[in-house]
Structure formats: C-alpha cells, structure tokens
Amino acid sequence: MSQTTNQSWGGRFSEPTDAFVARFTASVDFDQRMARHDIQGSIAHATMLARVGVLSEDERDAIVAGLKEILQEIEAGTFEWSVALEDVHMNIEARLTQKIGITGKKLHTGRSRNDQVATDIRLYMRDEIDAVAAELARLRAGLIELADREADTIMPGFTHLQTAQPVTFGHHLLAWQEMLARDHERLLDCRKRVNVMPLGAAALAGTTYPIDRHLTAELLGFERPAENSLDAVSDRDFGIEFAAFASLLLMHLSRMSEELVLWTSAQFDFINLPDRFCTGSSIMPQKKNPDVPELVRGKTGRVYGHLIGLLTLMKSQPLAYNKDNQEDKEPLFDTLDTVLGCLRAFADMIPAIESKKDSMREAARRGFSTATDLADYLVRKGVAFRDAHEIVGLSVAYGIQNHKDLSEMSLDELRQFSDVIEADVFEVLTLEGSVAARNHIGGTAPDQVRAAAQRARDALAQYVTTQQATTEEHDQ
C-alpha cells in the first residue's frame, strides 16, 4: 500500500482519494460474487509464473495455500470486505499479503486488473451459463413429456387470437419447445465465445515477462487465449451476446406466460395450475392468480433493459479498457439471476399443468374451426380452391345465422351450397378427423406429435451429453 494514499496504485498520488469518490468508484459490493473465480484465476496465474521461472516453487506454494485459505474464509462468511480496497481483486490480494507477507505482492507480476477482471467475469459466466443450460434442459424435458401425454388432447388453434383450426395440446406445447430449442443452441454457441482467455493481455499491450498463456488457458479450462491484447481487455461482446440470448429466452417465456394466464381464466378454462404456483387476493376470496407466469412476463422488460444498457455502455468506448466497463457487471449479474429464477420457476411449473380436456374440446368445436377441412374436401371433389373458399364462406354465414357449427348441419343443409358434398363429408368435419388429417412432419396429428416429441427428446439428450462432456473436460 502507498503510504500517502493507502492504495495499491497510489505511488504517484499526493493525496488520498476523496471518501465519496472511493465509495462511488468501488465495485466490491457487487463483484465479490466473483471471488471464487478470482482465486481460481490467481492460482492458475501463480502456477504458470512458477513454471516459467518468475516465481519459485516455494513462492507458488505459499500463494496457492494462502488463496485457498482465503476462499475458505469467504465461503465461511468470515472474510472482511473493504470498500477502501475498491474491488474483489484488491481485497483478496491485500488479504493474501497480510497472510503470507511480501510473497503475496508477487502474485500480480505479469498481469493487470484489466485482464484479471476480464478473466474473472468469463470464468464466472461460463459456470453460470452451464447452470442456465441445465435449467433450460430441465424445462425442455418437462415440456416434451407433457406434450407426449397430451398428444390426443384437442384444443383450438388461434390466429389473431381467433379460433382458426383444431390442433392438439401436445402440438401446441411442442411449439414452445421449438422456441426453447433455438434458445438452447444460442446459449451453447455463446458459451464458445465466453470460453476465450484474456489473462496475459495485462493492461492492454501484453507483458515483458516470459509468460505461457497456453498453459494458463489449459489450467483454467479455456479453449484458447485471446489473440489480441487490446481487444482482450476491452471486449464485452460475450456479455452482450448473453443478454441478447436472455432477451430472446424471456420473450419466449413471456409469450408462454401470456397463454398460461389466458388459459387459466374462467373465460378460457383450458388448464389448471397447482395452487403452489398461484396466489390469492386480499379482498376477493374466490381469486386464484397465476402469479408465476405474470411475474415472468413482467421480468422480460427488465432483461430487455439490461441488453440495451450493455449495448449503450460499449457503443462509444475507444480501445482499450475504460472505467465504464465496471458498469457491465450489475446488469449482467441481474440478467443471470433473473434468467435462472424464471427457468427454475417454469421447469417446476410446466410438468404440473393439468389440462381441462372437455373445455378445450368444446372451445375447438365452436368458431367453425373445421371450415378449412371442408374447403379441402371440396377441392378433392374437383372444385377449384377459390370456389371452394366461397362455398365454405356461405356455409359459415348460414351457420352463424342459424347458430350451428358445420358439423351440426344436416347433409341437406350443406348440399344447398354445393351438390358435390356427400355423406362422407362428416368424416372431415369432426375435430378428430381434422387433426388426424394433418399427418405429416410438423403437423398436428397425434401420431406426428408423438414422433416429434421423441425427436425432441433425442435432440435434448444429445445436447445434455455434449454439455456434460464439456463440463467434465473443464473440471479436469
């Protein structure tokens, strides 16, 4: 510490930092969550310095032992954090020097806080991404199994929130699964760019010490060291990319939430959410509010805001590191926390959904949802599609006027619009016939839903296997 400023960097300063400025510029209140990763990076750095002869083996051993003891203090909650020491890095380094003496001051040889923090945040994010991937896989697995169970459950499909055609509940759930599958791909792709090591870039230009960055990268499980020292310390693309992934994921969860909220209402009455995922009203005793999906829907805007904040943070920064980058952590940490919380809530809730099959079927029966099936029937009888479209439109108008669905009309009533209609028309006007007719890949036929669920199950298993292999390789 400088005698004048009580700071590790204070040698050229003639007075201490203003007390308010010290608090204003400190980050230890929020970056201490990276302590384990800071220590992990420091142990690898010390190991490398000893390997290239900058530290002796005894110095390395003292540093490593001291850092492990500090980690125990932090995990036990006995470590004393100091705002005066600014950040997680200086708090740990000061404690190390306190424990092992002057050798502790040698740890920072060949590195800067610029490359140190960039390394810490990547190590931290890599672990958090693995946790997010695990929760996302759990949610997808629950969706797939629920879809498989509901492959035969008929419900109305909507466009413009108007009844369009009958589909199966399982088919609808697998549409959600497709959204999440794309999110899973984006997340694992993002992880590849997180897994690049900045350490060794030092402040911005590299170091004059004979460091071995490939060794350090190997010790920390990074795929490779960053190629350019200027970019290494100033790049935050990986954080922005994660926030973009999170925004898309929350957008998808929000769309699901909107449907869950609608479906639990008395007006739809399609599903039941167990009581443990709902709350009541302080004044209306009959209320059962779908708070979990509502809150997830609300948190979406919060994550969007963090993405815009991170983009704005970086948009005008010249190379290389700037103090602005301290502002990347709080939005990024909150994004990670929010995503993990939302995924956990959904992964717990989705498998517990109970479908109300009779309500769904009755809703699908209303609204002339088999009108397109009638048009297709007429086309197969040789009627041009545009003429068939008009015939069905007239049939629907008649049904509205007489309060009858197409399937409720007699053959004579239907034939007044086209004499090609025969008794076999009722095979296509039933809800079961309608969904069964869409018997192709991507269609809503129950057999196709089951096949799609199995394909999704197999694809998810492959993702999980790949992720486990990557994690095991990192741990080794």
Residue 82 a catalytic site member: no
Question: Which residue from 367, 394, 389, 365 is spatially nearest to 378, judged by alpha carbons?
Answer: 389
Q: Which of 73, 70, 4, 30 is nearest to 332 (CA)?
A: 30
Residues with Cβ within 8 Å of 139's Cβ and at least 6 positions away in sequence, in order, are 180, 343, 346, 347, 350
- CATH number of 114-209+221-362, picked from 2.40.160.20, 1.20.200.10, 3.50.50.60, 3.10.20.90: 1.20.200.10
The pair phi, psi for residue 159, each rounded to 5°, is -130, 145
DSSP letter, residue 445:
-
Strands 354-355, 271-272: pairing is antiparallel
Return the pLDDT at 1. Answer: 45
- Closest Cα to residue 150, out of 454, 457, 446? 446
Cα–Cα distance, 2 to 16 (Å, whole number) = 10
- Phi-psi region at 382: left, alpha or beta (left = phi > 0; alpha = psi -120 to 50): left
How open is the CA angle 288-140-358, to the nearest 5 degrees? 45
How many degrees, rounded to 5, is the angle at CA 180 between CA 176 and CA 186? 150
Backbone Cα Rg of the chain: 30
Res 14: pLDDT? 63
Q: Please state, in angstroms and rounded to a whole number, the distance separating the CA atoms of residues 235 and 119.
A: 11
Residue 111 and residue 462: Cα distance in Å, rounded?
A: 39
Domain 17-109, CATH among 1.10.1510.10, 3.40.1190.20, 2.60.120.260, 1.10.275.10 = 1.10.275.10
Catalytic residue among 2, 56, 265, 281: 281
Distance from C-alpha of 51 to C-alpha of 67, rounded to nearest angstrom = 18
Sequence letter at residue 271: I
> What gap in Å lies between CA 382 and CA 432, rounded to an integer?
24
What letter would DSSP give residue 277?
G
The Cα 396–Cα 163 span in angstroms is 13
Residue 104, by phi and psi: left (phi above 0), alpha (psi -120 to 50) or beta? Answer: alpha
**In this structure, are residues 148 and 170 in contact, taking their beta carbons and an 8 Å threshold?**
yes
**CATH code for residues 371-429:** 1.10.40.30
Regions of the chain with pLDDT less than 70: 1-14, 474-476
The residue ranges of DSSP E strands in 312-374, in sequence order, are 354-355
Question: Residue 463: its pLDDT value, please?
Answer: 86
pLDDT digits (tens, 9 = 90+) for 363-410: 998 889 999 999 999 999 999 999 999 999 999 999 999 999 898 999
Tokens of 196: 């690049």
Please, are residues 439 and 445 in contact by the beta-carbon 8 Å criterion? yes
d(CA 85, CA 26) in angstroms, rounded, equals: 8
Cα 245 from Cα 255, distance rounded (Å): 16
Chain CA centroid to CA 165, Å = 31
Give the residues across from 156 on adjacent strands: 166
Annotated catalytic residue 434 = no
Q: Rounded to an integer, what distance in angstroms lies between the CA atom of residue 154 and that of residue 150?
A: 9
Domain ranges, ordered by start, for the chain: 17-109, 114-209+221-362, 371-429
d(CA 438, CA 171): 11
User: Using CA atoms, how far apart are residues 294 and 302, in angstroms rounded to an integer?
Assistant: 14
| Enclosing H/E stretch for 155 | strand 154-159
Do 17-109 and 114-209+221-362 have matching folds?
Answer: no
Query: 255, 243, 464: which is closest to 339 by C-alpha?
Result: 243
The pLDDT score that the predictor gives to residue 337 is: 98
Q: What angle do CA 172, 177, 180 make, to 5 degrees?
A: 140
Residue 414 and residue 420: Cα distance in Å, rounded? 10
Partners of 272 in the β-ladder? 354
Helix, strand, coil percentages in the chain from 3-state DSSP, rounded to 5: 70, 5, 25
What CA–CA distance (Å, rounded) separates 109 from 120? 17
Question: Which among 160, 316, 403, 440 is annotated as catalytic?
Answer: 160
In degrees, rounded to 5, the angle at the alpha carbon of residue 454 between the alpha carbons of residues 448 and 460 is 135
